[in-house]
Structure 1
Amino acid sequence: MNRRLAAVLMTALAVFTFVPVASAQSTPTLSNIRTGQHAGFSRVVLDLTGLPTEHRVSEVTSVSQCASGNPITVAGPGINEILSVTLIGAAAHDDNGNLTYRGSQNFATPGLSHVRGVALTCDFEATLGVAVGYSNPYSWHRVFTMTSPNRLVIDVGL
C-alpha cells in the first residue's frame, strides 16, 4: 500500500512541478512601419510579430506622449487632422526592454497624397500608440488587421 501511495504522490509532484522553459515574446511587437500610395488612398502598415488584443481609433486635433503627457507635433506639412490609433496588447520593445522597432518615431510621408506624417505616441505597459496626420478633414479612414504576415493597416483617403 505504501508503494502505491508513493507512486501517486510522485505522479502528482511530476504534474505540478514547475520547470522553467524558454518562452516566446509575451506581447506582439512592432518591427517596421511602411507607407504606400494606392489609387484613392494612402496606406500606413505596422508590421507586428503577432496581433494586438484590440485596437482603438479616434480622430483628434492633438496627441501627446502617453507616459509623460508631453505634446507631440506630428511631422509633415499641412496636417489639419490626426487619426490616433491605439493597439492594446502590443509594444515596440521586447520583454527585456530592447527596442524591436528602430525606425523614426516621427516622420513626414512626402510621397503620399493623403497621409502627411506618422508618429509613435505610446510604447508603455503593452499599449502602442500611433498618430497618423492628414490634411483634409473630409477624408475617410479604415483600420484593420491582417495575417501572414501579421500587421495593422491604416488607410486614409478622400
Structure 2
Amino acid sequence: MKKLSIWLTAILMAVGLGLLVPGPASATTSYCGLGWGSLAKTSENPTTASVTNIRTGQHYCFDRMVVDLNGPAAGYTVRYVPRIVQDGSGFTVPVRGGARLQVTLTAPAYDNNSGRPTYEPRNQAELANVAGYQTFRQVAWAGSFEGYTNVGLGVRARLPFRVFTLDGPGAGSRLVIDVAHFW
C-alpha cells in the first residue's frame, strides 16, 4: 500500500510540474501526414497520347484513380465543381457523392489519326467499381471531345487531393489522382 501511495504521489507531482503533459496539438498536422489541399491542380503538358484505361484502387490513407495513356503524360486540370459537365453538349453528368471532382485531360480517348476509340467504357456511369471505398462514390464518363477527355469523380466530401504523372509502362504514362480519406 505504501508503494502505491509513493507512485501515485510521484505521478501527481510529475503532472503538476508539467513533465507528463502532452504537447499541444498542431493545426498543421493533417491526416496521415498528408499536406495536400483541395484547390484546383493543373498542368499544361502538350501530348499526342490517348487515354487507354481508367482504374481505381484503395490505400491506407487515400483512394486512387489512375488514367493510363499510350504516350507521354498529358496536361490536365482537376478541380472541385458544383456539377460534372460534358464538353460540347453541356450535358450534366450525374455523379453520387457530397462533392465532385472534374478530371479533364488534354488527351483524347481516340486515335488522333484514324479517329478510332482507344478507350470505350462498357458502362459510362460506372467506369470502376468503387463500392466499399472510403472516399470514392462513383467514377463516371463525361466524354472525349476535340482532344479533351473528361471524367467525373464523385467523392464523399470535399477532401484534400493530389495529382501527378508517372512514366511507363513502356512508352506509356499514367495520370494519378489521390483523394484523402480525411483532412
Q: Distance in 1 between matches of 2:141 and 2:150?
A: 6
**Runs of 4+ with deviation above 6 angstroms:** none
Q: Which SS does the other structure have where 2:111 is aligned?
A: coil
Q: Give the equivalent residue in structure 2 for 1:92.
A: 109
Q: Distance in 2 between matches of 1:136 and 1:129?
A: 20
TM-score, normalization by structure 2: 0.65
Q: Distance in 2 between matches of 1:58 and 1:87?
A: 12
Q: Give the equivalent residue in structure 2 for 1:127.
A: 148
Contact 1:64 1:71 in 2 (8 A): yes
Q: Which has the larger radius of gyration?
A: 2
User: What's the offset of the Cα at 1:121?
Assistant: 1.7
Q: Distance in 2 between matches of 1:45 and 1:105?
A: 16
Q: One-letter code of the match for 2:108? A: A
Q: One-letter code of the match for 1:87? A: L
Contact 2:50 2:71 in 1 (8 A): yes
May I ask how many residue pairs the two structures share in their alignment? 128
Q: Give the equivalent residue in structure 2 for 1:83.
A: 101
Q: Give the equivalent residue in structure 1 for 2:9.
A: none
Q: Give the equivalent residue in structure 2 for 1:151.
A: 174
Q: Distance in 2 between matches of 1:102 and 1:84?
A: 19
State the Cα deviation string for residues 29-82 of structure 1 (Å, max 9, x = none): 1111111100011001111112344211211120121111111102x4xx0101
> Is the strand fraction higher in 1 or 2?
1
Q: Give the equivalent residue in structure 1 for 2:137.
A: 116
Q: Distance in 1 between matches of 2:124 and 2:48?
A: 20
Q: Which SS does the other structure have where 1:47 is aligned?
A: strand
Q: Distance in 2 between matches of 1:106 and 1:97?
A: 23
2:85 is the counterpart of 1:69:
no
Gaps of 5+ in 2: 1-46
Determine which of 106, 119, 131 is the counterpart of 2:125. 106
Contact 1:36 1:43 in 2 (8 A): yes
Q: Give the equivalent residue in structure 1 for 2:34.
A: none
Q: RMSD over aligned Cα, in angstroms?
A: 1.7
Q: Which SS does the other structure have where 1:106 is aligned?
A: coil
Gaps of 5+ in 1: 1-25
Q: One-letter code of the match for 1:106? A: A
Q: Distance in 2 between matches of 1:145 and 1:68?
A: 29
Q: Give the equivalent residue in structure 2 for 1:28.
A: 49
TM-score, normalization by structure 1: 0.74
Contact 2:73 2:166 in 1 (8 A): no
Q: Distance in 2 between matches of 1:56 and 1:84?
A: 8
